[in-house]
Structure 1
Amino acid sequence: MATLLLPIALAACSSSGDEGRTLSLFNDKPDTPQSFPANYRAELLAFMRTYLNNPVGVRDAAMAEPVMRDVNGKMRYISCLRYSARESDGSYREPHERAVLFVNGRLDRLIEKGGELCSGVALAPFPDMEKMSR
């Protein structure tokens, strides 16, 4: 009996009588101003130590200063990163370019295909990434 009452109770809660309003389980709030990721280099290095199977021996590391970009309709700081990680057999692949997304001044995620998000950014050498250890 309780199972039948639950959908009715939820339906009653969702119909507030306000026409034009929608009910969402996701964040529909307006975009809030983002703060600059002040510690972006240190956060990225800490993340990459866990992200890479072997953080030792990274080559050709380069990074761009964070810039504001539109990500799914919200303005976020993005930093672009290019590097070649050492494979398990000791070889290196071509450098990969990734986008690093920051939300509220903190590293949120690494986007595997930086593509359009990274277009037009100026990459500078990032020697600290090449010096990483386990």
Structure 2
Amino acid sequence: MAHDKGRDRRPLSSAVAAVALAALLCGCAREQPAVLSSNPNVPPTNYKAEILDYLRVYLNDPTGVREAYIGEPELKSIPASIFSTEQMSPAHQRYMVCLRFNAKNSTGKYEGSRDRMVAFLAGRLDTLVLARKGQCDNANWQPFPELEKLRR
């Protein structure tokens, strides 16, 4: 190995420095959690369009949705476990929309009509979850033909 003594090690050290710099920059590029500075209970004004945009991506097959119904936004007390933010306590209220539809699963078969709750934070869609028993019992259901006409 005597012939390696004079070998230039700069290419290796340059590569290590480049990787270290890239790792450092990636750490700085992470999104910091947003701090809510506005009223969390602003009524959603464009809730149907936001729900449609979300379901277009969320559903395995957004085409051919059947039996679609939607309720009006209502301010409801709900458990913190359905929110994406960590600073919630169980007593918080949010605008919620009840949603009912029958969509295709990943194998293309209809899964049956199910109720869902859509939570809004500061007037924007925050979370969609399956409704627990009784959460949508008093919803004022209206047909939601826009969901039945949804395309990819």
Query: How far, CA to CA, are the matches of 1:94 and 1:103 in structure 2?
Result: 29
Q: Hey, what does 1:101 align to over in structure 2?
A: 119
**1:114/1:100 Cα in 2 relative to 1: closer, same or farther (>3 Å)?**
farther
The answer to whether the Cα contact below 8 Å between 1:78 and 1:117 also exists between their aligned partners in 2 is no
Q: Hey, what does 1:60 align to over in structure 2?
A: 67
Query: How far, CA to CA, are the matches of 1:70 and 1:116 in structure 2?
Result: 13
Greater mean deviation of Cα atoms: 62-71 or 79-88: 79-88
Residue of structure 2 aligned with 1:91, choices 98, 101, 109: 109
- When normalised by structure 2's length, the TM-score is 0.63
Unmatched segments (≥5 aa) in structure 2? 1-38, 79-89
Q: Runs of at least 4 residues of structure 1 off by over 6 A?
A: none
- When normalised by structure 1's length, the TM-score is 0.71
Q: Hey, what does 1:41 align to over in structure 2?
A: 48
Q: Hey, what does 1:24 align to over in structure 2?
A: none
Alignment map for 1:1-134 (pairs within 5 Å):
32=39, 34-71=41-78, 72-134=90-152
Query: How far, CA to CA, are the matches of 1:35 and 1:107 in structure 2?
Result: 11
Q: Alignment identity in percent?
A: 41
The answer to whether the Cα contact below 8 Å between 2:98 and 2:139 also exists between their aligned partners in 1 is yes
**1:33/1:46 Cα in 2 relative to 1: closer, same or farther (>3 Å)?**
closer
Query: How far, CA to CA, are the matches of 2:146 and 2:99 in structure 1?
Result: 13
CA root-mean-square deviation: 1.8
Larger Cα Rg: Structure 1 or Structure 2? 2
Q: Tell me the CA shift for residue 86 of structure 1.
A: 1.9
Residue 60 of structure 1 aligns with an amino acid whose one-letter code is E
Q: How many residues align?
A: 104
Residue 99 of structure 1 aligns with an amino acid whose one-letter code is M
